[in-house]
Amino acid sequence: MPDELILTGLQLASAAPSAGNTQEREYIVVRDRAQKERLMKAALGQRAILESDVTVAFCGDLDRISSRYGKRGREFYFLQDVAAAVQNFLLYIHSQGLGAVWIGAFNDSEVSRILCLPDHIIPVALVPVGIPGEVPRTPPRRDLKEMLHWEKWTD
């Protein structure tokens, strides 16, 4: 997995909007197999982390967001901002014919310990990236008509 590919993906991730342009996202790129094995264990055994060429940890800086938005920033905005960055990254990675998966199920404190994160940096997502062994099936999606409401909530 060339560095340039990951760096381009992260540049596009960084172009995602953020509340008040605070840009509180932080990224940790993990290539080391032993480190990925520790992350896999912290992520409930999700093998994609270990089998990937690289795993990117997407994190948010609570100090940076709360300095402008206080509690609302710490509890809500930083999650939106990091999620937007992850989405941009995934779209780019998939456009390059690679595979990636958004992992949000993990032990936060264990991932923080493994990555040596300071208390104000919070892991939000782990994204393993690699060459897919097979073309994944797109899971079924709800029909837009079931989700769409105009002007107000309707049943």
What's the mean pLDDT when you consider all of the chain?
Answer: 95
Contact between residue 84 and residue 17 where contact means Cβ atoms under 8 Å apart: yes
Q: Reply yes or no on whether the pLDDT at 136 is more than 90.
A: no
Query: What DSSP element (H or E) covers 110?
Result: helix 108-114
Work out whether the CA dihedral 107, 108, 112, 113 comes out positive or negative: negative
Return left, alpha or beta for 143; rule: phi > 0 is left, psi -120 to 50 is alpha, else beta.
beta
pTM higher than 0.75? yes
From CA 61, how far away is CA 71, in angstroms rounded? Answer: 13
Residue 34 has pLDDT above 90, yes or no: yes
Q: Which CATH superfamily is domain 3-147 in?
A: NADH Oxidase (3.40.109.10)
Categorize the per-residue pLDDT at 113 as very low, low, confident or very high, splitting at 50, 70 and 90. very high
Crossing angle of helices 3-14/78-95, nearest 10°? Answer: 140
Query: What is the pLDDT at residue 98?
Result: 94
Burial class of 14 by CB neighbour count within 10 A (0 to 12, 13 to 18, 19+): middle
Q: Are 24 and 18 in contact (CB under 8 A)?
A: yes
